[in-house]
Amino acid sequence: MSPESKVQTTEFDELMTRRALELAARGIGQVSPGPLVGTVIVNARREIVGEGFYLYDQTKHAETLALEQAGERARGGTAYVSLEPHAHQGRTAPCTDALIKSGIKRVVAPIEDPNPKVSGRGFAHLRAAGIEVCSDLLIDEGARLNEAYIHYVRTGRPFVHLKLAVSLDGKIATRTGDSRWITGEQARARVHDLRHQYDAIMVGGGTVRADDPLLRCVEDRLCASLSISACEFLRNRNLHKPRMKGP
C-alpha cells in the first residue's frame, strides 16, 4: 500500500466498492478493448444517489453516468469506482474532470489502471484538486474482474482461455469418432458464458471438419445483450478452410 493510499476505510466503503464491482461486471462481453468499470455515488448522508457501468457502444463512462444520475446530490459525497478514473482525453473527456466538477470530496477505487495513459495520473489529478483518494481496497477482486484487460495492457498479448471437454481417461471421442456431449448441461451453459465474455473463438481445422461446430453464443439471455459479436478464428496448418455453418 502506498503512503498516499493509507486512508482509513470502513465496512461501508467495502460494501459500496463491492457494489461498484458488481455494476462493472454487467459490462462483461461488451467493453473490449476497454476495461470493465462500475461507479456508485454516495451522498454525505451515505445514501446511494447514482450508479453506472461502462458499455463500449454507449461511449459514456461509468463515472459520468453515475454523476448524471446523482446531479447536485453528489456534492460533498463519495465516488466508489471499480478502477482508477482516467485523466486524459480519449473517446470521452477525462472522468477526473467530471468528478472534480461535481463536488465529490472522496474517491475510493481498488486498483490503478495499468494503461500508461492512465496509471497513477487519474489519482494524482484528483489529489491535486483536493479530493481524498483511497485505493488498495479489494485489490484482488478488482484485478480479477479485469484480468483480461490488465494482461493485454501489460503484455500486448490477448488473454486466452483454453476450454477442453475430455473423459476421465483424457479422450474427446471414441476410436470411431463418435462424440456427443461428454459434458453436462451446466458445463455447456458455462461454455456459452465464456463465448459471451471473449472477443474471439479459435478452433482447429480438424475440429471443424469433424464436428462442423456453430461457434455461437446460443443462450437467449446472453445473445440478447451481446452488442459486439465474437470473431471466429480457424487454425489450420494445411491452409485449407473447410465449409463452416452459418449463424
* Cα distance from N-terminal residue to C-terminal residue, the chain: 49
C-alpha cell at 12: 461501508
C-alpha cell at 204: 482447429
231, β-bridge pairs: 200
41, β-bridge pairs: 50, 79
Q: Give backbone dihedrals phi and psi of 135, rounded to 5 degrees, phi first.
A: -120, -175
Contact 63, 99 (CB under 8 A): yes
Q: Which residues are catalytic?
A: 63
Element at 19 (helix H, strand E): helix 11-25
